Amino acid sequence: MEITWEDGHHSTYSGEQLRWACPCAECRGEAGAPGRLAKINRLSPEELLIKDVTLVGQYALQIAFESGHATGIYTFRYLMSLPPRPPEV
Ligand SMILES: [Zn+2]
């Protein structure tokens, strides 16, 4: 997924990076309980494939993955804070 920011610079995000960065309560945990991503170290290929991206208001993107997981709301501020895409392994 590629974003062009208002200042003209580009950011590229892989599905894998975004999936691991999913900010939803299920993945991140809530109320001090660890989320799903804290308990696993592998995700299946379909979980890493972006299926759909929806603009939420003016501030965020909702990203749906092939696995059906679509509860993550990625604010632009959050996306900007993610590290640059790591090299393919
Ligand atoms: Zn999630």
Q: Ligand 1 center to residue 42 CA distance, Å?
A: 14
Look up the CATH architecture of domain 2-81. 2-Layer Sandwich (3.30)
Share of the chain above pLDDT 90, in %: 88
- Give residue 67's region: left, alpha or beta (phi > 0; psi -120 to 50): alpha
Kindly report the pTM of this predicted structure: 0.88
- 3-state SS record for 17-33: HHHHCCCCHHHHCCCCC
Per-residue confidence band for 56, with pLDDT thresholds at 50, 70 and 90 = very high
- For residue 44, CA distances in Å to 49, 56, 65 come to 9, 27, 11
All structural domains of the chain with their residue ranges: 2-81
Label residue 83 by pLDDT band (50, 70, 90): confident
Question: Does residue 88 have a pLDDT over 80?
Answer: no
- Interval 16-27: pLDDT, tens: 999 999 999 999
Distance 56 CA to ligand 1 centre (A): 16
What are the distances in angstroms from CA 38 to CA 20, 24, 27, 34, 51? 10, 13, 8, 6, 23
